[in-house]
Structure formats: structure tokens, C-alpha cells
A and B are shown apart, each in its own frame.
Chain A
Amino acid sequence: MKSKLEKYVTQIVQQTDCSKEEKEDLYEELLVHLQLSKDEIMLEEGLTQAEAEEKAMQQFGSESVIGNQIQQSLFPFRKELQLTLGISSILFAISAYMFHLLVEGNAQITWLILFIGFSSLLVFIPLQQNYTFNCKRWLNSLLVIHLLTAIYGYLMVNSIDHTASLGLTIWVWLNIILSIFLIYQATTHDINSSYKPIKLIHIMNITSGLFISAGTLFFLWGYLFAYGEVRLTILLNLIPLTIWAASYYIQTKMAHKNKTLTITLAFLPLVCITIAVLYFFIGF
């Protein structure tokens, strides 16, 4: 059974978005520091072990504040950037919805609810200090969904023949760029600096993933435009994205075992994308 001090340190560590190894290191460091502090208090003030533990924790500060400070020092500006993206997106959602409603007479209610919902999560998660939902996996999932709804918002405002459309288009693209930046940051920032290649692997995979996702969305749109209905063959459009996801998963598992093969696998989609883009635009 964990002591009160151990539970206290665990609560602090849980609020950080570190890898398992980093959390273990941080836990060890904090626990040792607090135990030394407790021993010092016991010696100097003649308190019991329980009383000294309580005082050491009191002097160190509240778990939420300390956890937040460590998180901030490990991931500088993430909280601010998340808040900026969330607030900016909420304001954009309101503006774009009203713009579309007043100019086109279209009430995009489903999009409004989804975009305000996802944007609100981006605001509430850093504010309410619960890092259970601020871990990389949750945050990236939220950012990707937010990105998709933002792209739909771009298509919405871009479809309107109005001078205000340009301003809203620039606004939503700033949100999209910030969203993509946060995906890169959330995925790569906390990687153990002792093993650089995995950071490169993540960057290459996110880059190729963005291009493949954009291509998939384009072909899904083309499919629906051509056939006007959803058929089973629509799943064929998802093959490149599935291969990319499987390849990314395999790379993360074998990154420490076979560096050359992993980097080659990560590099391959980028080569394919470059060839496809050159073929599409230049038609060599």
C-alpha cells in the first residue's frame, strides 16, 4: 500500500503528459526530494513521521499547482496555444455560421455544434487541470477531429461569393495551421532526447499522414460526387490511409530495434507523395 507521500507524488506526476520512462524518473526525483525534506523536518522540528510528511507536502505546494507548473515547464506554451486555438475556433464558428446563415440562408447546425464542442474541449482541458484528457493520445485525437471540422468550415466560407469570405478564409487557415502545429508539438515535444530518430519518424509520419488524409478526403468527395451515394467500394479510398496507419504503428514498435528499416518505412510514403504531387501539378 502506498504511503501518503507516494500518493501525493503520483498525483503530481499524473498531471504531466510525459512518457512512461519520464514519469518514472520524475516520480523518483520528486519522492527523493520530499523524503529528504521530511527527514530534515523531523530532525529540526521533532515532529512525527506523519506530521513531517504532511508539513513537507504543505511546503512543496498543492498537487494541482505543482503538476501544472511541471507540465508548463515541460511543454512551454502548449496551454496558451490550446487556449488560443480553442477561443479563436469558437469565435470563428459563431462568425462563419452567422455569415453562412445570413448570406446563403444555410443553417449549418450540425457543424456548429461539433465545432463549438471540439473547440470548447480545447479550452476546458487546459483550464480544468485534468491531464487524464491532456495526454498525447487524447489531445491528438481531439486536434485531428478539430482539424477536420475546421476544414469543413473552410469549405463553407470559401463557397460564398462575398468580400467577407476572404477574411474568414484567412482566419480559418490560421486555425488550421495552429492545429497542425499542435499535432506536431504534442507528438514530438516530449520524446526522450536520448533517441533522436524517433522524433524524425514522428515528423515524417505526421507530414505524410496529413497529405494522405487530404488526398483521401479529396477522393471521397470525388467518389460521392460521381456516384451520389455511399457504396461498399467507397472503402477502397481508405486503403492508403490504412496502410499509412499500419506502417506508422509498426514503426513505433520497431523504432528501437531496427533504425534503418524504420526510417526507410517512414520515408517511403513521402517519396510516393512527392512523385504524386509532381505528377499532378507538372505532369512530367
Chain B
Amino acid sequence: MVKKKTLVILFLLLVAITIGLIVAGLFLNKTENEKLQGLSQYYDVSSKNTIAYVMYRDGIPALRLYNKDEAINAEAIKLTSEQMILDPSFSPDGSTLAFISTFKDMKSELKSSVHLLDLRTQEIRELFNVPYIVTEIEYSPIGNSLFYLQAGTFENYSPIASERPHDMDILEYDLVQENHTQITNLKKYNMNSLTIAPDAKSVYVVMDDDADAETAEEIFNTKQRVFNISFDHPENPTIASDIEREEDIFSFTFTPTGNEMIFNSISNVDSGDTFQYELYRYNVDTKEEKQLTNLESYSTDPVIGHDGKTIYFMVDQNFGKRTPQYHLYKMTMDGNGLEEITLPNIN
């Protein structure tokens, strides 16, 4: 039989341990904003092969620049843990870099700012801010304006869907006149991968092919495709990707020649396993498609290098799990010479 005194000591010991753990918890507990860690999926490559990338340390976002050949390895800006940096985009000549800052808690703080970093002077200035979510920006090939995707709301349209930016449209910001022009008035459920046509007379974007969908089942079965939106008739987007393609397209880019697109799509829909996203090349003229990667992971956000011979892309090696783990890769246009680019200061 255990003595009462021993039991009291044991009880007090357990209470002390519990209190100690609670105190440790109060000190080491992180808010949701402080939990982002490592490389994000947002990056761009300049005409001089400088890579701009966004990484997080204890939730604090930093925009960094890296060019091994030119010995560039610098932190351009660091924001607070309440904020995010999205979609850095180099100007065609590589002299400036535009990027978006917004709040992680998009539901309660619906505000986005677009900034411009002058790489020659290292100065950063806010171009504009809007009470909406700007999800992507892209320089016009001519370089005198910025196109951007803007979401009117951040919510879940269906109880089983997660909260996301919706009511998407394309706008243009004139860098000289400093004014905004709304290009589309589509209020799309989903819109991403904004790409400007080389002649700057139209844009390409990924959207749901839901023009003819009326019933719930038809809406559910809609496919994401690449659309071309002409500035002359923005109300009539036309499908630019393979109209017969059964699987969705999530992100894409055009080659400099303009007749081929690199996109990511699910490669194993029928396998019953976790989806694997691979990169594909599609020739718009010949309608030929070729799978470029076979990483059995989540390959996304292709960017074509200035030489037109290199494809940069992100891979989430932790796809399907709780926290993403992005790595930047590059390969040739045929999918050969796969190589990971080791970015500094990402851990």
C-alpha cells in the first residue's frame, strides 16, 4: 500500500510538471501568422537571370534577390509577420521589380499594396493600394504598365470549400499616368497565371471553362483552361489551350515564340493516389502535347528564362501534407538537364 505522503508528493510533482509545461507553452506558442517557414512558391527570373524569391522565417516574409554569376545575394525587403509578399515580377529590362504585399488574414484586412523596387537605386516605393486582394501582377512587355488580378472577396462560396479570393478581374495600372483601367468585368470564381501577350493587346489567364455550365453537376465538371482575353473584346474570352483536354490546367506560361505553352496539370487522376502535378509542353499550332517532368510531386509556376531555352519551376516536395516545402528547379525546354537551384538563406 502506498503511503498518503507519497501520493501527495506524486500529485504535487504532476501539478508542478503540468504548470511548467503550460508556462513553456505560453512562451513558445506561435500565432498562425508566425508559422510560415521557408521558401514560398512566388518567384520570378529577370532578363539578367536574377532570381527574386519570397521566403519566410517565423512567419516574417522577406523578398530576396539572387544571381550567382553577378554575385547578387541580398534581401530587398522584409515585412511583418502579419503580412505576405506575393508574385514578384521583373520589368522586361530587369531594372525594376514589382511585388504585392497583403495581409495573411485576408478576411478581416482586405487590402493590398503594390510596390516597385528599383534595382539600380535599391529604392522601394508604393505604387498603389486597393481595398481588395491583388493576387498577381505582370509587367506589360512594353514596360509602361502593370497588369494585375484583383479579387473582390475572400470567402468560401460553398460550406465544404475553403476560403479563397473570388470575384476575380483583370486591371491595368499605367505607370506614367498613374491610373487604373479595368480590363474585364467577369467576376470569375477563379482566375490565375496572368500572362501578357507579346504584342500587349491581349492577356492569357487560367479560368474555369464554365460559360455553358448551368446545372450544379455541369459547374462541378467544368475544366480549368487557358483563356485569351482581347482588350478589344474582354467580354468574350476564347480558349487558348487544348479544348479537348480532360484534366485541369493550373498554371502556365508561354514560350517567347508565342506558339507553345508550358503548363502544369495532374498526371495520375485515375490512380487513386495523391494527385501528382507535372509540367507539360503544348504546341498551339500542331496541338501536340508532351509531358516534361516526372517528379511525382507538385510541379508548378513555370517561368521561361530570358534565353528562351530554360524552364524554371517550383516543386512542393511535401505536397498533400500539412506544410509545403518548395524547391526551385530548372530544366531545358525538352525537359532534360533537370537541376535544383540552391537558393541562399531559405531555411
Contact = CB atoms under 8 A, between A and B. Distances in A.
B306 interface: no
> How extensive is the interface on chain A, given as a class?
20 to 34
B160 interface: yes
Contacts of B29: 101, 105-107
A94 B318 contact: no
A207 to B, nearest CB: 30
Interface in A149-175: 159-161
A38 B21 CA distance: 56
A98 B18 CA distance: 11
Contacts of A98: 21, 24
A159 B322 contact: yes
A65 interface: yes
> How extensive is the interface on chain B, given as a class?
20 to 34
B11 A97 contact: no
Interface in A80-110: 90, 94, 97-98, 101-102, 104-109
Interface string B6-17: 010011001001
A107 B2 contact: no
B216 interface: no
A101 B24 contact: yes
B159 interface: yes
Nearest to A115: B18
Interface in B27-54: 28-30, 34-35
B25 interface: yes
Given A116-B18, A161-B323, A101 B2 contact: no
A120 B11 contact: yes
A228 B30 contact: no
Contacts, number: 66
B82 to A, nearest CB: 16
If over half of A's interface residues share one DSSP class (helix, strand or loop), that class is named, otherwise mixed; here it is: helix
If over half of B's interface residues share one DSSP class (helix, strand or loop), that class is named, otherwise mixed; here it is: helix
Contact of B1 (A108, A129, A226): A129
B176 interface: no
B22 interface: yes
B321 interface: yes
Interface in A244-270: none
A106 to B, nearest CB: 7
A132 to B, nearest CB: 16
A158 to B, nearest CB: 10
Task: With a 10 A CB-CB cut-off, give which of A107, A112, A113, A129 has the most chain B CB atoms.
Answer: A107
Contacts of A225: 160
Contact of B21 (A94, A105, A160): A94
Given A128-B2, A161-B318, A226-B160, A113 B18 contact: yes
A97 B10 CA distance: 20
A107 B28 contact: yes
B26 interface: yes
Interface string A206-226: 000000000000000000011
Nearest to A160: B322
Contacts of A226: 159-160
Nearest to A222: B160
Interface of A: 64-65, 68, 90, 94, 97-98, 101-102, 104-109, 112-113, 116, 120, 123-124, 127-129, 159-161, 225-228
18 contacts: A94-B17, A101-B24, A101-B28, A101-B29, A105-B29, A105-B35, A108-B25, A109-B22, A112-B21, A113-B18, A120-B11, A124-B10, A124-B11, A128-B2, A128-B7, A161-B321, A226-B159, A227-B159
